[in-house]
């Protein structure tokens, strides 16, 4: 019995040790296993840390990626912007934006988009906005300025004048009265399409509607410019009169179109009339075409022997010269002397003392007393004075001419002071009225001017020859030549 109890006690102790061993594996001995399990396993690859969202490149660097990842960013996995919003279409974004704007905020958006010329977006946003409700649940209602922005966007994306007129008519649905700016946008569309008849009708409608839509300087400029572009000069003149009577200035752009149209159609008289009308109005007295345009007008006027237009061209150029001299940091402008010679020739052919005086004055101002005029200028002035019958001024100019060029080479002096070539117009004018004119010329030469001896003798010889011819003609017409010999009369003279 005792031995059985001892065996049970040892078996119990062995069982407890075995149980304790399995409950605490960290206390297991290596020697309890016959071999170690060493099966190889593949290591999992380590993922690199996620890269942060790249910053946009500096636009000043000129990177071509600027528009890609700044204006249209590529969504990253860790981006906080919902992918659905980024993938929305432009129309959806504009529609969502339209539901959050009132009139002032929409005006601010339009002001921003106009600088970047987002005309299509402006058009679409307004059309979404006008169909949306405000915060009070009422339909959005634009004012006239906001609606004009919509009209401008329509114009810039190519809407026709008819479409714009329909939109202007729809302004009544929103209790908006179109103003001058509204109609001017329609006139611009008509200007682009050269719809002159429709533009004149719309202009008359503006005159009849009232104060809100009375034509302004832009309205007149659009209509007048359109008429000149289509060479409807007489109709344009009527609107020029309306422009001036309404107190508005004739812009340089319209004046340039006027010059082009009148020159192309040979209507220089109309161009002169417009310049004269501008000169009578206080607001247009300062009308001053560009320097190159003045030269162009002068050239055309001299080709057509239009002394009035040539005078106005020189007058414009004189204003430019005075303006340059009075500027801070003077700009000294000068008229080409060849142009002045042409003007003097025109003055002589058209018998215009006004053009003659203006031409000589602007030449003197251009030379600024630094040198004498060229011989061609003196001869042109002598010719003009002689043609006008002002012999005293002609011989005075001849005296000045000879003083300036008395030291010229002998051959050149004989040519420029020859009564048979260069001075022939003066000699012919001196004998135009027979003995009466010749006596006056002799008095001018001998008593008043005191020309140099060579020139005096040359002119006297020629005048004496002319006197003989007049006397011979007188004898032939009044006496029977048979008893006499004209050679004897010549020797007697």
Per-residue pLDDT of the chain (493 residues; tens, 9 = 90+): 445 445 445 545 554 454 454 454 444 444 444 544 555 555 555 555 655 555 555 544 444 444 444 444 444 444 444 545 444 567 788 888 877 888 899 999 999 999 999 999 999 999 999 988 888 888 889 999 999 999 999 999 999 999 999 999 999 988 999 999 999 999 999 999 999 999 999 999 999 987 889 999 999 999 999 999 999 999 999 999 999 888 898 899 999 999 999 999 999 999 999 999 888 887 777 788 999 999 999 999 999 999 999 999 999 999 999 999 888 888 899 999 999 999 999 999 999 999 999 999 999 999 988 899 999 999 999 999 999 988 889 888 988 888 888 777 766 667 788 777 888 888 787 777 665 666 666 656 655 455 445 555 555 655 565 555 554 554 455 544 444 333 333 333 3
β-strand partners of 139: 133
For the chain, the domains span 89-195, 216-287, 288-371, 405-493
Radius of gyration of the chain, Cα coordinates, nearest whole angstrom: 49
Q: Are 189 and 159 a contacting pair, CB within 8 Å? A: yes
Query: Do the beta carbons of residue 463 and residue 442 sit within 8 Å?
Result: yes
DSSP symbol at 26: G
Q: Residue 488: is it exposed, middle or buried by C-beta count within 10 angstroms (0-12/13-18/19+)?
A: exposed
Instruction: Give the angle 128-130-135 at the CA atoms, nearest 5°.
Output: 100
Report the CATH number of the 216-287 domain.
1.25.40
pTM of the model as a whole: 0.69
Determine contact, residues 241/277, Cβ cutoff 8 Å.
yes
Q: Are 272 and 312 in contact (CB under 8 A)?
A: yes
DSSP state of 29: -
Cβ-contact 219, 206 below 8 angstroms: yes
């Amino acid at each position: 019995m005792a031995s059985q109890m001892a065996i049970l006690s040892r078996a119990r102790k062995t069982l407890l040790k075995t149980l304790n061993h399995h409950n605490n594996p960290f206390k297991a001995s290596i020697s309890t296993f016959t071999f170690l399990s060493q099966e190889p396993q593949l290591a999992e690859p380590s993922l690199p840390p996620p890269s942060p969202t790249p910053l946009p490149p500096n636009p000043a660097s000129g990177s071509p990626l600027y528009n890609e990842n700044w204006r249209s960013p590529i969504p990253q996995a860790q981006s906080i912007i919902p992918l659905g919003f980024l993938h929305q279409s432009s129309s959806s974004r504009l529609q969502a934006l339209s539901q959050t704007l009132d009139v002032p905020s929409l005006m601010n958006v339009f002001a921003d988009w106009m600088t970047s010329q987002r005309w299509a977006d402006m058009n679409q946003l307004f059309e979404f906005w006008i169909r949306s409700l405000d915060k009070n649940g009422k339909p959005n209602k634009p004012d006239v300025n906001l609606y004009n922005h919509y009209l401008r966007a329509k114009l810039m994306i190519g809407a026709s004048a008819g479409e714009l007129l329909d939109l202007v008519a729809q302004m009544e649905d929103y209790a908006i009265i179109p103003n001058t700016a509204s109609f001017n946008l329609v006139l611009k569309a008509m200007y682009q399409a050269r719809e002159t008849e429709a533009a004149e009708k719309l202009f008359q409608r503006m005159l009849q509607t009232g104060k809100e839509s009375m034509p302004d300087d832009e309205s007149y400029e659009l209509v007048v410019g359109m008429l000149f572009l289509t060479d409807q000069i007489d109709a344009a003149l009527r609107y020029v009169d309306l422009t001036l009577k309404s107190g508005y200035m004739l812009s340089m752009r319209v004046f340039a179109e006027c010059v082009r149209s009148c020159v192309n159609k040979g209507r220089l008289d109309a161009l002169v009339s417009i310049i004269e009308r501008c000169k009578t109005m206080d607001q247009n007295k300062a009308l001053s075409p560009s320097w190159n345009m003045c030269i162009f007008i002068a050239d055309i006027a001299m080709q057509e022997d239009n002394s009035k237009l040539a005078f106005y061209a020189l007058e414009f150029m004189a204003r430019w010269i005075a303006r340059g001299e009075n500027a801070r940091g003077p700009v000294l402008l000068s008229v080409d002397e060849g142009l002045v010679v042409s003007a003097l020739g025109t003055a002589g052919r058209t018998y215009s003392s006004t053009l003659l005086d203006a031409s000589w004055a602007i030449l003197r101002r251009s030379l600024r007393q630094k040198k004498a005029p060229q011989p061609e200028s003196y001869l042109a002035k002598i010719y003009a004075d002689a043609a006008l019958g002002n012999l005293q001024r002609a011989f005075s100019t001849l005296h000045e001419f000879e003083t300036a060029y008395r030291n010229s080479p002998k051959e050149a002096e004989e040519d420029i002071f020859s009564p048979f070539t260069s001075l022939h117009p003066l000699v012919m004018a001196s004998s135009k009225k027979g003995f009466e004119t010749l006596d006056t010329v002799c008095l001018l030469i001998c008593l008043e001017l005191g020309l140099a001896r060579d020139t005096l003798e040359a002119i006297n010889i020629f005048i004496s020859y002319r006197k003989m011819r007049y006397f011979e003609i007188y004898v032939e017409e009044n006496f029977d030549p048979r008893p006499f010999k004209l050679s004897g009369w010549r020797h007697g003279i």
